[in-house]
């Protein structure tokens, strides 16, 4: 199996990937306009254009928002069908991810089920923010 296709951080996104490596899901919010939380990372607010923004540690909680189950996985993703999912984070933004810790079936993957971040270490630099169902 070829190595998994991984992100290459840029200066503007470095804090996010550093956070994942350290076990924190980091989001950004504006401190000039409405304090709105946004994603993906950028050093300004996409609502007001202000550069007064801060990085904060998000809860890592959300719900399964939508997905498809890819029956023909990309070679680096293995041979078993898997979900390509979007979660809606408690803080508002949506994020593409994979759902781990449960079967990759429509029965197990119910929309709006609670999920929490589970970092998957890939190498010294990159850990991917995957999500798993909240137990109980």
Partner 1 sequence: MKPNSIAVVGAAETTQLGRIPNLSTIGLHADAALNAMADCGLTPKDIDGVATAGESPQGLAHYLGIRPTYADGTMVGGCSFMLHVRHAAAAINEGLCNTVLITHGESGRSRVGAPGYAMGGPASLTGQFETPYGPTGAPTWFTVPVLRYMKTYGVTVEDLANVAVIQREWAALNPRASYSDPITIDDVLASETIAWPFTKLMCCLVTDGGGALILTSAERAKDFPRKPVYILGTGEAVETPMVSQMDDFTSSRAFRDSGRKAFAEAGIRHSDVDHLMIYDAFAHLPFYGLEDLGFVKPGEAKDFIRERNTAIGGKLPMNTNGGGLSYMHSGMYGMYALQESVRQMRGIAPAQIEGAKVGVCHGVGGFFSASGTIIFSNEAP
Binding site for partner 1 (CB under 8 A): 4-10, 13, 17, 39-40, 65-74, 77, 81-82, 84-86, 94-98, 106, 111-112, 128
Distance CA 31, CA 4 (A): 37
Nearest approach in angstroms of CB 76 to partner 1 is 8
Nearer to partner 1, 14 or 51 (CB): 14
* 3-class secondary-structure state, position 106: coil
Where is 40: in which H helix or E strand?
Answer: none
Q: Which is nearer to partner 1, 124 or 136 (CB)?
A: 124
Q: Least CB distance from residue 134 to partner 1, whole Å?
A: 19
Shortest Cβ 101–partner 1 spacing (Å) = 15
Q: Which residues contact 110 (CB under 8 A, 6 or more apart)?
A: 64
- Shortest spacing between CB 110 and partner 1, in angstroms: 10
Q: How many CB atoms lie within 10 A of CB 65?
A: 16
Pick the closer one to partner 1 by CB: 33 or 96. 96
Strand pairing report for 94-97 and 61-70: unpaired
């Amino acid at each position: 199996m070829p190595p998994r296709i991984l992100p290459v951080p840029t200066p503007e996104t470095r804090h996010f990937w550093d956070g994942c490596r350290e076990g924190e899901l980091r989001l950004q919010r504006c401190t000039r306009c409405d304090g709105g939380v946004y994603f993906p990372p950028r050093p300004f607010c996409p609502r007001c254009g202000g550069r007064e923004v801060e990085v904060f540690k998000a809860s890592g909680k959300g719900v399964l928002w939508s997905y498809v189950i890819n029956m023909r996985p990309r070679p680096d993703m293995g041979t078993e069908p898997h979900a390509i999912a979007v979660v809606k984070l408690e803080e508002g933004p949506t994020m593409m991810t994979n759902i781990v810790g449960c079967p990759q079936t429509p029965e197990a993957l119910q929309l709006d089920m609670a999920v929490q971040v589970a970092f998957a270490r890939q190498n010294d630099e990159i850990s991917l923010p995957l999500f798993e169902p909240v137990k109980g």
